[in-house]
Amino acid sequence: MDVPANLSKIAPWISKTTECMELRLVQPQLGHPDASEPVSYTVFEPTFTYPIFGEQEVVFGYKGLSIKISYTSGSLRIYPCIDYKQKYEPGSSSSATTAETPEGPDDVSNMLLDFLPKQDCFSNYDEFVRAVQEDAESFRPIGEKIHEYSRESSESGEEHFEIYRTSFTNEKFKKYHRRMQFFVLLLIEGSSYIEENDEKWEIYTVYKRQNTGGSTIYHFVGYCTTYPFFYWPECTRLRISQFLILPPYQKEGHGSELYQTIYSTCMLRNDVKELTVEDPSEDFADMRDRNDMRYLNTHNAFDKLVAPVSRKTMKELRQKFKLTDRQMQRCIEMYLLSRINPKQKEEYKAFRLQVKQRLYLFNLDALRDLDPEDRKDKLEQTFDNVIEDYHRLLEMI
């Protein structure tokens, strides 16, 4: 909604959607036969809601508004529930109308359903609970399983996870993706839905596999979309587009496992010559840097490298390890920094010049208009910031 000028009068009827909305992953209540509820919830909040409710991320017309979007934890069938204590009624004594007051409350339900697959949404809670129990037994991930791994949990011991790859050529997955994609609007800034009629998209999904009572239950953890672009002369540049691990599973290494799987898959594919990333967030860039450095170190990419590293060597490494030119240069710079002794003046000078040359070329448009002295100071400041960030990243590796 657009916020009118008489905000103080209508403020009690305005709800901040990032605060009144929550997402729930719902699964059967396992191991608790006497539990009062047949299901259990894992709850988290959206980071953004402006794709649905507008730039201000508010709705008008309710007091005590509650928006709960529940998902079956594996199959992702949906139960949207909207509740409130009081609803605005134009003309009532408690809802005084002025020329700048909205005519009526926002239709929250329809605003949500514009982005959700209506045919997969329940309107009855009991039917949704039955779906939770049925889908726990019957749902299986769609696509080709390409990797599995384990993690230790303080609560349940060893937990098992699987990664699958598929595309929109699979009609069953296309329907599943319509349920899955809602998360990116709420958790990835600036994200939008991708075109499901484009069968070139490759989608990687992550699931937790839970073995209980002789049966296996799968829970959705996250996913990544990738798209192949032409790479001269007859090859592919694979671009990571959307990359999401749901909040309950973040900070547990699942993002790294997913990225490593995609990167390792690229390394095995003769058609893919480069892996790129579309507008990475700071957290994703950090994760990518750590994993690229570990992979390059493990495969002895930096053996015998000293500054200055020639363009020929950089090109050979970039082509061998299928990273972009900038990413490979940054990884080389981090490696050199980790090995260099600042007290060795000539060695450190060669390193500084190499990094500054890259920074100058990368920021050429911004630097070329500065006076020589200002340009020198700006480049020095940029260099110091880069080195500080490299030290931060090296401490994590």
Q: Which residues are catalytic?
A: 278
Tell me the one-letter amino acid at 94.
S
Vertex 202: Cα angle to 80 and 27 (nearest 5): 30
Instruction: Report d(CA 177, CA 175) in Å as an integer.
Output: 5
Instruction: Report d(CA 216, CA 52) in Å as an integer.
Output: 35
| Token pair 């230790």 in the structure block, residue | 152
Tell me the one-letter amino acid at 322.
K
Vertex 284: Cα angle to 283 and 289 (nearest 5): 100
Tell me the one-letter amino acid at 172.
K
Bond preceding residue 308 cis, omega within 30 of 0:
yes
| Other CB atoms within 10 A of residue 142 CB | 16
Please list, in sequence order, all residues whose beta carbon lies within 8 angstroms of the beta carbon of residue 136, skipping any fewer than 6 positions away. 27, 28, 72, 73, 74, 215, 217
Give the Å distances, CA to CA, from 149 to 158, 186, 209, 246, 252: 10, 28, 10, 18, 12
